[in-house]
Amino acid sequence: MDVCLDHDFDLVKVVEEIRKAKARKILVQLPEGFHRCFNSISHALKSSIGNNLEIFLSLNPSYGPCLIDEHTANEINADMIVHFGHVEYPYYRPRVRVLYVPVEYKGVDMHRVKELLASLCREGEKLCIVSTSQHIELCKKLEKELSDCNISYRGTVFGCTHADVRSCSTLLVIAGGRFSCIAQGLQLQSRGSGLRIMCLDPYTYRLWNPAEELVKILRVRMWKVHKALEGKRWLIVSGTYGQSRKELVDMLLNKLREKGFEVDVAKVLRLDRDSIVNIGSSYDVVVVVSCPYQAFDFYDLEVPIITVGEAFMVLAGNIERYIYPW
């Protein structure tokens, strides 16, 4: 698979928007897997607009639209940011001009996907679909073309947003990898929903049920919560841009101080293992506010690294109902 050729960077629209904005300097953001496509993107844009267009690539984290690189855009005095790979994040409005380009995956075999979905279609039941940004058009086509299946496309989801599952019989998450589907499963668990959830990876054509994996993950998470119940020294790790979440940080600070716990706050752009190991050893509990799923990456550390929702469980003294993400 050629990542650059198999995805639609919608450069015609990008050129139109750059011209409309009369931009002379732009900052391009790409998820790491698309960095190899920057050269061809830059060449195409300059060929259409002219070599007087200045194009910079941000190599700062671009895990999602919650991390728009405002600092670099301001530092180079960019007229706009072209953010490839995501749609706009609902909880964050950057203070710079941003063009979001979803980057649709074009290499999908529609026939294979339809065959897989046929096994989920049941008479009198509604199959609700959500996706990540790369599969929006695929989902719209499925909704339109599978006339014998009651499909409702409910839009895009992120790791910390939940799907609209009203009137749904089954929720299908179409996304590459595991993260998006597991996150939606945790959301349903948090809301006490018994809705059936299935996952489809359109890159590998794997249709899978996350139920067993969710059970394993929840066992680990509850173990971390139990360990955090004993903690007196807490560290809150907040992110930047759309991962800053000041209201959540303030809520945690107030609740922890009311209980007389020691608490510090750290800010981070990219949370890596070395950082969390080095600073985490000084605390009993670390709460990751920036991105809830990041806490899961450090499940093997001795110090419990927990999410905001898990922190609220500990502080309320109620660990009967799992809370995700907050």
Per DSSP, helices labelled H in 199-300 are 211-228, 246-258, 273-280
Residues 6+ apart with CB under 8 A from 43: none
How many C-beta neighbours within 10 Å does residue 75 have?
Answer: 11
Edge to edge, the sheet with strand 25-29 lists: 54-58, 25-29, 80-84, 98-101
Strand partners, 29: 58, 83
CATH architecture of 7-102: 3-Layer(aba) Sandwich (3.40)
Mean pLDDT, the chain, whole residue set: 95
- In tens, the pLDDT along 102-141 reads 999 999 999 999 999 988 998 889 999 999 999 999 999 9
Q: What does pTM read for this prediction? A: 0.93
Distance CA 53, CA 47 (A): 10
Three-state SS for 36?
Answer: helix
CATH of 220-316, one of 3.40.190.150, 3.40.50.300, 3.30.2310.20, 3.40.50.11860: 3.40.50.11860
The one-letter amino acid at 30: L
Is cis: bond before 210, omega within 30 of 0?
no
Residue 51's φ and ψ, nearest 5 degrees, are -70, -5
| CA dist., res. 62 & res. 84, Å (int) | 9
Which residues are bridge partners to 238 per DSSP?
267
| Chain segment 239-291, per-residue pLDDT in tens | 999 999 999 999 999 999 999 999 999 999 989 899 899 888 899 999 999 99
Residue pair 268/290 in contact (Cβ under 8 Å)? The answer is yes
Task: CATH number for 110-208: choose from 1.25.40.80, 3.40.50.11850, 3.40.50.720, 3.90.870.30.
Answer: 3.40.50.11850
- As annotated, the residues of the chain forming the CATH 3.40.50.11860 domain(s) are 220-316
Range from 43-52, 113-122, 206-215, 224-233 carrying the lowest mean pLDDT:
113-122
Mean pLDDT of all residues in 139-144: 96
pLDDT at residue 293, rounded to an integer: 84
